[in-house]
Amino acid sequence: MATASRVESDCRANSDVLPGPVRHRLTVADYYRMAEAGILGRRERVELIDGEVIDMSPIGAVHAALVNVLVRHVARCLVDSTFVSIQNPLRLDDENEPEPDLLILRPRSDCYCMAHPGAADTLVVIEVSDTSLAYDLDVKVPLYARHGVTEVWVIDAATRRTHVFRDSRAGADGITSYADVRVIEADQSLPFAAIAGADGGAVDASLAQLLPTVS
């Protein structure tokens, strides 16, 4: 019969080699099968990030208004060759399908009916944050950088301050991040650097102009 000390020693030895808990990552195909099976309801606001189903924050009134005025402004100014997508999927890879508030896309002959857009199709990704600002900045922006998304905006709905990220590149540590990072205040002009208006001019505007503060 093994002594208590022998059993304790064996347990310690086994604990050194036994793996810890491993997360089961979902693929996009798994994600869609969950929706088809009714595990994810039609009205649930979720997205797939790094193989995990993430609940999205409810859309507040200011959040919705910011999306609406941006869509209206962009649609008025942009040439027909640019496509605007609102709160629709962006397929980054087999484990990532976020749903940004606004996507400004390159033209595609099928108008994206054959497949969701990917990173190479995007000109600008815009996220509007009510309570998810830290998550958007710390998780989603690095995710977009890793996949080579050209430009990302994260708008803080409370302050209307916009964080702009451009020029993704790998650093010495091998981590890809944006080299050009700036913060645009509500009364400063938002730089739509990747796109031009129908007349070839700028489509810049400030959020203070697009959505004046209601007192």
Nearest to 70, CA basis, from 45, 47, 101: 101
Note the pLDDT of residue 77: 74
Q: Based on the number of CB atoms within 10 Å of its own CB, is 161 exposed (0-12), middle (13-18) or buried (19 or more)?
A: middle
Domain positions in the chain: 58-210
Low-confidence ranges of the chain (pLDDT < 50): 1-2, 7, 197-201
Secondary-structure class of domain 58-210 per CATH: alpha beta
What value, to the nearest 5°, has the Cα angle with vertex 136 and ends 142 and 167?
40
pLDDT value of position 200: 46
Q: Residues with Cβ < 8 Å from 74, sequence gap 6 or more?
A: 84, 102, 104, 192, 195, 203
Cβ-proximal residues to 150 (8 Å cutoff; 6+ apart), any chain: 122, 123, 124, 166, 168, 194
Q: What is the mean pLDDT of the chain?
A: 85
Q: What is the DSSP letter of 17?
A: H
Strand partners, 146: none
Instruction: Quote the pLDDT of residue 28.
Output: 95
**Number of H helices and number of E strands within the chain?**
6, 8
**pLDDT (0 to 100) of residue 128:** 97
Q: Strands, DSSP E only, in 50-186?
A: 52-55, 83-86, 102-105, 122-129, 151-156, 161-170, 176-184
What pLDDT is attached to residue 174? 86
